Amino acid sequence: MSLRGICIFSGSANPQLADEICRYLQLPQGKLSTKNFSDGELFVEIKENVRGATVFIIQPTCPPVNENIMELLIMVDALKRASAESITVVIPYYGYARQDRKVAPRTPITSKLLADLLEASGVHRVVSVDLHAGQIQGFFNIPFDNLYASNELVKRLRTFLDKDTTIVSPDAGGVERARAYSKKLNGSLAIIDKRREQANVSEVMHIIGDVASRDCVVVDDMIDTAGTLVNSAEALLKAGARRVLACATHGVLSGPAVERLSTNAIEKVLITNTIPLPPEAEAFGKIEVISVGMLLGEAIKRIHTGDSISSLFNGG
């Protein structure tokens, strides 16, 4: 199948994933140069002709978050001014997504703000993986494809689990995601009722569902400081779980996350490569990374050729 007229560029956030996508598509990566002025301002120059081309930019908004977002916006502006026919941004991890509504007076909705910035910069389409909240798609007035990493993660989970498996949602908001995993793994479903007094601080209150003498898999969209995951695992073990595994799409792993995971009785942590592992986690044997390069590569191919990508939305 011909992929003529397509150009794929990568920002500095996750060049390894961009390389993997280009290998899957059998395409070279687009050439650009970036440099910083002495005051820290970023300069981007596109080093090849993109006039009339269909352009895809691979750039998750992972740490350093603000720098990566600004780099993405500058790349979009450079490509727009170079007369690219269309610009699709592939944001495997969509940052600022947790602030998707007003939770208190005088607070922002940053996921909407980021949507406005992307549209204003000239983006024609957005592709992401496992949004923190599905309604973020409605913040855009351009096409938005939210893909799911569950198929890739479930394949690996099956090698660890037996028939007595319970999929656990660490909060009420993740029940739909956990239910999708439980269907694919033919397991039961449990929900943890937690209270969050402030950001990155949570307390387990109750476990709803059968977890005694069962393999439990805590499923979430991201692992940030790992506080929720650690508290959930400890509560499950106290409730009689045979063992606890964890599965998440985005391994942010900020702050004390790796230290917390190393001291907890979680047997295995599966994440994807939407975000590069932080240096302190690379040598941590408990974490296993599953690739979404083929998933994103296939989505890019189908978008370019005009084929349906509905089957890629199948998260459960």
Active site residues: 194
Measured distance CA(236)–CA(229) in Å, rounded: 11
Which pair of structure tokens corresponds to residue 253? 């792993």
Which pair of structure tokens corresponds to residue 191? 């929900």
